[in-house]
Amino acid sequence: MVNKKLKDCYDLGYRGVAICLLHSYAFYEHEERVAGIAQRIGFTNIVASHETVPVIKAYPRASTTCVETYLNPTMQGYFKKFIDGLQPWN
């Protein structure tokens, strides 16, 4: 079921996925399995809530994970430009 849903999203053009399972604060292995499936499908921006905010409350984990997934591409581009600007002139 997870394979098909993630594949459908990937086929629609999504490349980022926020993973937040209800009891992942205690059973993070399930989120890791979903992340592995997403990686095999080809997602490039995968964020699991147990890595972002390892707390019991689902809402803080979910909201923070979604925000991180949304902002990752923008922030990575920003940091790349910043670091490139620090390179010495050749």
- Dump the DSSP string for 73-85: HHHHHHHHHHHHH
* CA 25 – CA 48 distance, rounded (Å): 11
Q: Which residue has the higher pLDDT, 90 or 53?
A: 53
Residue range 38-81, pLDDT digits in tens: 999 999 999 999 999 888 999 999 999 999 999 998 898 888 88
> What pLDDT does 89 receive?
64
Q: Is 24 left (phi over 0), alpha (psi -120 to 50) or beta?
A: alpha
Q: Find how far residue 2's CA is from the centre of its chain.
A: 16
Q: Is the pLDDT of residue 90 over 70?
A: no
Q: Look up the pTM and report it.
A: 0.82
Q: Please report where in the chains the tokens 């920003």 appear, as a residue.
A: 78
